[in-house]
């Protein structure tokens, strides 16, 4: 419900919002999140607390808007951002630089921990200009993979000064986003509608597989992989289309779903409840895609998500979940979709979901936190 | 009203003449080479809309002595205040809601809707004021503190004016409710006495406090009867001797008839009751009931609307408009909107008493009481250092259908004029330009032109930003701008040697000429290096291949290489020949194509048919004969050798194929 959403105007356009990951055995919902800004003369990385504990109500429920814990100046637009662990955030800049910031929780400060200057660049890395925007970053501690407008893929390790591996000219068009498929394989999407798999163990500087949209080659802007079933991949395109791919078969998407009217900037499966998927767009909407509506057909363990599925036979899973996302004809009774932001006019650039909590940021210079997503 | 001249600090107008140029939201001012000339001409910048304040020194101008500077004079300096960005963003959402709102809603519900919009605007102003106040309290820098405090008082003045306009124009309160609204207005905005009230109420024994009677007076002056009676009851219990007197005053205060918001009593009924009550007060005053207590006597006089008694409490009212409302409360509770102007003028005169002259804020409020909406907006435009206020207020009044008769003699109407100014200011800001787009959209006459001019000036620092700008243009069918943005991005990519990106930008703009240019670069690279770059793109051109002939050729030529690589020689040969005979390949590339045919001609298997071989020969002869650079072929040894080799290969192939075809046909 909308009344569970708290908003804060922050006087800077928000390009990224990310929950801090929860410790392994955490019982509480997430509380701390990071934001990055873009298109300001002075861009910032900020750490926020979603629950204003100072204003906790009598019944212990949370009140009020998110409040700022600390922030730090960032050179260039924040293009992408990912927590490496509980304390460190990797930030991709429009200047081509990739920075690890550390959040010191004892005294609430941020500091630059490590920096790869101009990890992405045009023509010559050493010239004073010539940095190319780093458009995407993904972490699997200690590994960090970045992609950029220069079509380059970098593999870093948090503890190493130089890149472990660089694939120059990996893509002739702009790479817009990257995610891990498995520990040694990554997925990238580019501006000519292609989804590529790269195996980082192989020395060949070419993708191991290329998938592609048919027809007009609409640019793809974001990608996410199903947390439990790695062959299911979701991407979002310039026309706002959500594409679901089964990378085990074919070279084209299994289904194309239309809800947004402009660029889809981010797509995220819910990490522990992957029947739910969230997308946000330049058109100012944020859609919740829910395939769990047909509860009667499904074993209840799926709602708990996580490991329990591993003990069940594959056939059970295939019958239920696979039909949910990979069904060729996702009719309306199988998927329920809801716009969580009616009447918004400016772009929702970023969202992140964790547990029952959603955080998103907009070009209208506001951040929103919804703490009861499934209420 | 004449516009006060604006001095540009740092520009020495006494030594040199200044010149200036108007920009969309800024004025450039610079010193000229001319010395003092022309006598008494004004050297200050003064124009109808130039509420200018110098922002920064931009730099020196070429060819002018180094002491000369170019000044960037911004016409909307508040745009740059960080805390106000909240105001701009939140009010943008309200503005958009208002534009979307149902015009069809009739009468009361429409009015309620508009009043709600007005209240939303005000609550945003108040929220901003609180933030600004917090900032002022928490900073240690005195200069910054001063700045914040100034902003707080500007915001508070804006809210004061807006609230009055809401009562008088948007809600258009009628006699009766009008007074109640004005009382609320005064209670909300006269905050100078609040701390005194708090101090007295929180003291151990309020009635013993030296400011006790002041607080009672404040309550009476603001018509807060219940609070005043509550305080008085404390004093009464402490003074049993004057108990009777208290009872009488308390009774008078309790019985005072007030207008009601509901329709249960008519104005005539109210006036009758009020007359009766007034006479009762008069009686008690005349028979000296309160003679032993000057405090209570003065309160009774106030209840009777005695101007001198009220004026004695000047300090407790602090402003003339408080005095006006108190006076109305106790003398003319059923005042009609159109009568306000007389009371307002005389209240101001009485209150200021010739000691001080009215300030701009007073003039604005006076104009509102006089129902001179036009004047209110004009004065606000001159006094306030932002366009936000007048643009949004005027838009709201326009939606109330109050401004139709006010067409400007230039350009479009006033609403549009002010919105254009405000949005231009937003566009001059590094980050706020996105908000400006929607404002331009709702300016029917010039919005489109303004948007077109402004959007082209947005710096395209990243592809992501370019995509956002592009989306704005595409949604509005601004084809010219779409082309221009894509071209800029394609050029950038080309400069960075990103041919693939460059091509996808020109495909997006459907820019055939540029696609041709890039295709040529690809082909040139191929000729130089002998292999294709960016195969992932060229192999996936799809239907976009048809955008330009050269792009089609590039795609097809690459297809030839793939067929050749896959050893599908007959198909490759057929395609190669078609590229020339169907004139898909540019003439300059024919030599390369013919050279590509060489290995096919040398294959063990005969690949080209006799007919195809003749066609190849004709292509070669066309090329060597018809080429105006014929000279070049003869001079260039390599080229000559190549031609000779081709002729030889073709002749041999012809020989082989005649034998083969003859054999096949014969058998």
Mean pLDDT of chain B: 85
CB-CB under 8 Å, A364 with B498: no
Contact indicator for A134, A147 with CB cutoff of 8 Å: yes
CB-CB under 8 Å, B462 with A79: yes
pLDDT > 60? residue B180: yes
pLDDT at A65: 85
Looking at the partner chain, which of B438, B500, B542 has a beta carbon nearest the beta carbon of A172?
A: B500
CB-CB under 8 Å, B431 with A216: no
pLDDT at B408: 55
Contact indicator for B344, B352 with CB cutoff of 8 Å: no
CB pairs under 8 A between A and B: 125
In a domain, A299, yes or no: no
**Among B259-273, B379-393, B403-417, the least confident range:** B403-417
Rounded distance, CA B32 to CA B18, Å?
6
* DSSP bridge partners of A72: A45
Q: Give the single-character DSSP code of A131.
A: B
Residue located via tokens 């509380």: A31
SS3 A182: strand
Rounded distance, CA B449 to CA B24, Å?
12
Mean pLDDT of chain A: 85
Q: What is the pLDDT of residues B120-129, one digit of tens each?
A: 999 999 999 9
* Over residues B432-449, mean pLDDT: 95
Q: In which band, very low, low, confident or very high, does the pLDDT at B4 lie, cut at 50, 70 and 90?
A: low
Q: In which band, very low, low, confident or very high, does the pLDDT at B631 lie, cut at 50, 70 and 90?
A: low
What string of DSSP letters covers B596-660?
Answer: HHHHHHTSSS--S-HHHHHHHHHHHHHHHHH-TTHHHHHH-HHHHHHHHHHHHHHHHHHHHHHHH
pLDDT at A315: 35
Q: In which band, very low, low, confident or very high, does the pLDDT at B524 lie, cut at 50, 70 and 90?
A: confident
pLDDT > 60? residue B40: no
- Which residue of A173, A251, A280 is the best one to mutate when testing the B interface, meaning the one whose CB has the most B CBs within 10 A? A173
Give CB contacts under 8 A, 24+ apart, made by B186-195. Answer: B186/B222, B186/B321, B186/B322, B186/B325, B186/B326, B187/B222, B187/B224, B188/B163, B189/B156, B189/B159, B189/B160, B189/B163, B190/B222, B190/B317, B190/B318, B190/B319, B190/B322, B192/B318, B193/B218, B193/B316, B193/B318
pLDDT at A311: 31
* Over residues B592-609, mean pLDDT: 86
In a domain, A316, yes or no: no
Contact indicator for B420, B404 with CB cutoff of 8 Å: no
Q: In which band, very low, low, confident or very high, does the pLDDT at B59 lie, cut at 50, 70 and 90?
A: very low
Q: What is the pLDDT of residues B444-502, one digit of tens each?
A: 999 999 999 999 999 999 999 999 999 999 999 999 999 999 999 999 998 888 888 89
pLDDT at B411: 54
**Count of structural domains, chain A:** 1
Nearest one of A203, A145, A204 to A177, comparing CA atoms: A145
Domain limits for position A47: 5-55+62-292+321-370
In a domain, A314, yes or no: no
CB-CB under 8 Å, B463 with A217: no
Q: What is the pLDDT of residues B302-326, one digit of tens each?
A: 999 999 999 999 999 999 999 999 9
Q: If 0-12 CB within 10 Å is exposed, 13-18 middle and 19+ buried, where does residue B67 land?
A: exposed
Nearest one of A50, A12, A5, A2 to A28, comparing CA atoms: A50
- Which residue of A40, A80, A174 is the best one to mutate when testing the B interface, meaning the one whose CB has the most B CBs within 10 A? A174
Contact indicator for A220, A264 with CB cutoff of 8 Å: no
Rounded distance, CA B463 to CA B2, Å?
48
In a domain, A258, yes or no: yes
Rounded distance, CA A59 to CA A239, Å?
45
What string of DSSP letters covers A290-349?
Answer: E----GGGS-THHHH-GGGGGGS-HHHHIIIIIHHHH-SS--TTT-EEEES-TT--S-EE
Rounded distance, CA A189 to CA A233, Å?
11
Smallest CA–CA separation between A38 and chain B, in Å? 9
- Which residue of A192, A212, A220, A368 is the best one to mutate when testing the B interface, meaning the one whose CB has the most B CBs within 10 A? A192
Q: If 0-12 CB within 10 Å is exposed, 13-18 middle and 19+ buried, where does residue B407 land?
A: exposed
Name the residue of chain B whose CA is nearest to A211's CA.
B540
Separation in Å, CA A61 to CA A4, A55, A371, B107: 11, 9, 11, 42
SS (H, E, C) B547-584: HCHHHHHHHHHHHHHHHHHCCCHHHHHHHHHHHHHCCC
Question: Which secondary structure element, helix H or strand E, spans residue B505, and what is its range?
Answer: helix B499-508
Higher-pLDDT residue of B51, B230: B230
The C-alpha angle A170, A94, B438, rounded to 5 degrees, equals: 120
Alpha-carbon Rg for chain A, nearest whole angstrom, is 20
Counting every residue, how long is chain B?
667
Q: In which band, very low, low, confident or very high, does the pLDDT at B169 lie, cut at 50, 70 and 90?
A: very high
Separation in Å, CA B230 to CA A154, A328, B215, B302, B324: 75, 74, 12, 18, 25
Looking at the partner chain, which of A94, A135, A347 has a beta carbon nearest the beta carbon of B468?
A: A347
Name the residue of chain A whose CA is nearest to B508's CA.
A218
Rounded distance, CA B157 to CA B368, Å?
14
Q: What is the pLDDT of residues B65-121, one digit of tens each?
A: 445 677 777 666 777 888 899 999 999 999 999 998 877 777 788 899 999 999 999
Give residues with Cβ within 8 angstroms of B666, minimum separation 6. Answer: none
pLDDT at A319: 43
Tell whether the torsion through CA atoms of A156, A160, A161 and A162 is positive or negative.
negative
* DSSP bridge partners of A206: none
pLDDT at B35: 60
Q: What is the pLDDT of residues B535-545, one digit of tens each?
A: 777 887 878 88
- CATH number of A12's domain: 2.130.10.10
Rounded distance, CA A244 to CA A253, Å?
6
User: Which stretches of chain A score pLDDT less than 50?
Assistant: 1, 56-60, 295-321, 332
Q: In which band, very low, low, confident or very high, does the pLDDT at B29 lie, cut at 50, 70 and 90?
A: confident
Pair of tokens at residue B370:
């006089």
Pair of tokens at residue B541:
């051109």
Name the residue of chain A whose CA is nearest to B537's CA.
A172
Rounded distance, CA B291 to CA B400, Å?
52
SS3 B100: helix
Rounded distance, CA B234 to CA B336, Å?
37
Rounded distance, CA B379 to CA B364, Å?
6
In a domain, A11, yes or no: yes
Chain A residues whose CB is inside 8 A of the B434 CB are 13, 346-347, 363
Chain B residues whose CB is inside 8 A of the A174 CB are 463, 501, 504
In a domain, A264, yes or no: yes
Q: What is the pLDDT of residues B354-378, one digit of tens each?
A: 788 899 999 999 999 999 999 999 9
CB-CB under 8 Å, B540 with A365: no
pLDDT at A116: 95
What string of DSSP letters covers B134-177?
Answer: HHHHH---HHHHHHHHHHHHHHHHHHHHHHHHIIIIIS-PPTTH
pLDDT at A157: 95
In a domain, A360, yes or no: yes
CB-CB under 8 Å, A366 with B468: no
CB-CB under 8 Å, B89 with A9: yes
Give residues with Cβ within 8 angstroms of B550, minimum separation 6. Answer: B515, B516, B519, B520, B523, B586
pLDDT at B209: 86
ipTM entry: 0.89
Give CB contacts under 8 A, 24+ apart, made by B12-19. Answer: B13/B43, B13/B44, B14/B43, B16/B68, B17/B43, B18/B43, B18/B45
Question: Which secondary structure element, helix H or strand E, spans residue A33, and what is its range?
Answer: strand A32-37
pLDDT at A307: 31
Nearest one of A78, A150, A143 to A118, comparing CA atoms: A150
CB-CB under 8 Å, A172 with B533: yes
Contact indicator for B548, B519 with CB cutoff of 8 Å: yes
pTM of the model: 0.85
Q: Give the single-character DSSP code of A254.
A: S
* Over residues B638-651, mean pLDDT: 85
Pair of tokens at residue A198:
């790269």
Contact indicator for B392, B121 with CB cutoff of 8 Å: yes
In a domain, A9, yes or no: yes
Rounded distance, CA B138 to CA B273, Å?
53
Name the residue of chain A whose CA is nearest to B91's CA.
A364
């Amino acid at each position: 419900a909308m009344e569970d959403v708290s908003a804060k105007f922050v006087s800077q356009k928000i390009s990224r919002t990310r929950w801090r990951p929860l410790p392994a055995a955490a019982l509480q919902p997430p509380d701390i999140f990071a934001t990055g800004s873009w298109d300001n003369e002075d861009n910032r990385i900020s750490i926020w607390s979603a629950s204003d504990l100072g204003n906790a109500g009598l019944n212990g429920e949370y009140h009020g808007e998110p409040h700022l814990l600390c922030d730090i100046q960032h050179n260039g637009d924040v293009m992408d951002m990912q927590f490496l662990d509980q304390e460190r955030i990797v930030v991709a800049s429009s200047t081509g630089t990739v920075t690890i910031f550390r959040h010191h929780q004892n005294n609430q400060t941020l500091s630059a921990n490590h920096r790869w200057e101009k990890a992405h660049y045009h023509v010559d890395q050493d010239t004073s200009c010539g940095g190319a925007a780093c458009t995407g970053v993904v972490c699997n501690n200690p590994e960090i993979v970045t992609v950029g407008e220069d079509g380059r893929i970098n593999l870093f390790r948090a503890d190493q000064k130089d890149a472990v591996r660089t694939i120059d000219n990996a893509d002739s068009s702009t790479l817009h986003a990257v995610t891990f498929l498995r520990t040694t394989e990554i997925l990238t999407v580019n501006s000519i509608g292609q989804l590529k798999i790269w195996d980082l163990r192989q020395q060949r500087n070419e993708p191991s597989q290329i998938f592609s949209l048919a027809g007009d080659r609409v640019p793809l802007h974001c990608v996410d992989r199903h947390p439990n079933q790695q062959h299911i991949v979701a991407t979002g395109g310039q026309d706002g289309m959500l594409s679901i791919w089964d990378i085990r078969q074919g070279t084209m998407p299994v289904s194309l779903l239309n809800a947004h009217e402009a660029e889809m900037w981010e797509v995220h499966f819910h990490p522990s409840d992957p029947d739910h998927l969230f997308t946000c767009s330049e058109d100012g909407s944020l859609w919740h895609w829910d395939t769990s509506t047909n509860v009667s057909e499904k074993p209840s363990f799926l709602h708990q998500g996580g490991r329990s599925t591993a003990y069940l036979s594959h056939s059970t899973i295939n019958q239920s979940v696979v039909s949910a996302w990979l069904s060729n004809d996702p009719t309306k009774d199988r998927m329920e979709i809801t716009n969580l932001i009616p009447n918004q006019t400016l772009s929702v650039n970023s969202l992140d979901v964790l547990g029952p909590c959603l955080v998103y940021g907009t070009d209208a210079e506001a951040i929103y936190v919804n703490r009861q997503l499934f209420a | 009203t004449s516009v006060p001249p604006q001095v540009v600090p740092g520009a020495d107008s006494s030594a040199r003449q200044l010149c200036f140029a108007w920009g969309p939201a800024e004025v450039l001012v610079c010193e000229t080479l001319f010395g003092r000339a022309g006598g008494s001409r004004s050297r200050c910048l003064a124009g109808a809309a130039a509420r200018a304040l110098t922002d920064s020194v931009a730099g020196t101008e070429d060819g002018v002595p180094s002491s000369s500077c170019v000044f960037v004079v911004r016409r909307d300096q508040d745009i740059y205040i960080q805390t106000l960005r909240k105001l701009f963003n939140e009010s943008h959402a309200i503005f958009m809601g208002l534009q979307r709102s149902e015009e069809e809603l009739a009468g009361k519900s429409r009015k309620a809707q508009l009043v709600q919009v007005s209240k939303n605007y005000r609550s945003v102003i108040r929220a901003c004021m609180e933030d600004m106040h917090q900032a002022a309290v928490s900073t240690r820098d005195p200069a910054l503190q001063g700045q914040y405090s100034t902003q707080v008082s500007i915001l508070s003045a804006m809210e004061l004016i807006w609230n009055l306009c809401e009562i008088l124009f948007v809600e258009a309160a009628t006699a009766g409710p009008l007074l109640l609204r004005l009382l609320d207005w005064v209670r909300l905005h006269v905050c100078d006495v609040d701390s005194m009230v708090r101090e007295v109420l929180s003291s151990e024994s309020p009635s013993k406090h030296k400011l006790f009677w002041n607080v009672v007076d404040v309550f009476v002056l603001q018509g807060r009867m219940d609070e005043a009676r509550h305080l008085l009851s404390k004093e009464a219990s402490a003074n049993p001797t004057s108990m009777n007197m208290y009872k009488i005053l308390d009774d008078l205060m309790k019985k005072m008839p007030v207008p009601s918001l509901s329709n249960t009593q008519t104005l005539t009924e109210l006036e009758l009751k009020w007359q009766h009550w007034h006479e009762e007060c008069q009686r008690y005053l005349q028979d000296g009931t309160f003679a032993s207590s000057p405090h209570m006597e003065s309160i009774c006089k106030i209840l009777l609307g005695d101007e001198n008694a009220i004026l004695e409490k000047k300090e407790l009212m602090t402003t003339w408009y408080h005095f006006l409302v108190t006076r109305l409360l106790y003398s003319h509770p059923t005042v009609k909107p159109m009568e306000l102007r007389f009371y307002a003028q005389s209240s101001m005169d009485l209150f200021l008493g010739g000691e001080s002259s009215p300030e701009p804020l007073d003039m604005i409020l006076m104009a509102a009481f006089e129902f001179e909406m036009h004047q209110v907006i004009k004065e606000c435009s001159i006094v306030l250092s932002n366009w936000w206020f007048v643009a949004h207020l005027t838009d709201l009044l326009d939606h109330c259908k109050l401004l139709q008769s006010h067409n400007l003699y230039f350009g479009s109407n006033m609403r549009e004029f002010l919105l254009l100014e405000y949005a231009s200011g937003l566009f001059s800001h590094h980050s706020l330009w996105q908000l400006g787009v929607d404002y331009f959209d709702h300016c029917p006459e010039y919005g489109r032109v303004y948007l077109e001019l402004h959007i082209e000036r947005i710096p395209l620092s990243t592809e992501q930003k370019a995509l956002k700008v592009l989306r704005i243009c595409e949604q509005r069918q601004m084809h010219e701008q779409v082309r221009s943005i894509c071209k800029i991005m394609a050029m950038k990519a080309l400069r960075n040697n990103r041919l693939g990106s460059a091509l996808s930008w020109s495909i997006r703009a459907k820019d055939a000429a540029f696609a041709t240019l890039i295709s040529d670069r690809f082909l040139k690279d191929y000729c130089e290096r002998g292999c294709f770059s960016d195969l992932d793109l060229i192999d996936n051109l799809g239907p976009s291949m048809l955008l330009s002939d050269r792009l089609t050729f590039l795609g097809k030529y690459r297809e030839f290489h793939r067929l050749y690589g896959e050893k599908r020689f007959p198909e490759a040969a057929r395609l190669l020949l078609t590229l020339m005979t169907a004139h898909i390949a540019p003439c300059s590339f024919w030599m390369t194509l013919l050279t590509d045919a060489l290995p096919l001609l040398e294959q063990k298997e005969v690949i080209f048919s006799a007919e195809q071989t003749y066609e190849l020969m004709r292509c070669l002869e066309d090329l060597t004969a018809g080429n105006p650079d014929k000279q070049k072929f003869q001079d260039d040894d390599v080229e000559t050798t190549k031609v000779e080799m081709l002729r030889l290969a073709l002749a041999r192939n012809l020989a082989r194929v005649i034998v083969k075809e003859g054999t096949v046909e014969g058998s």
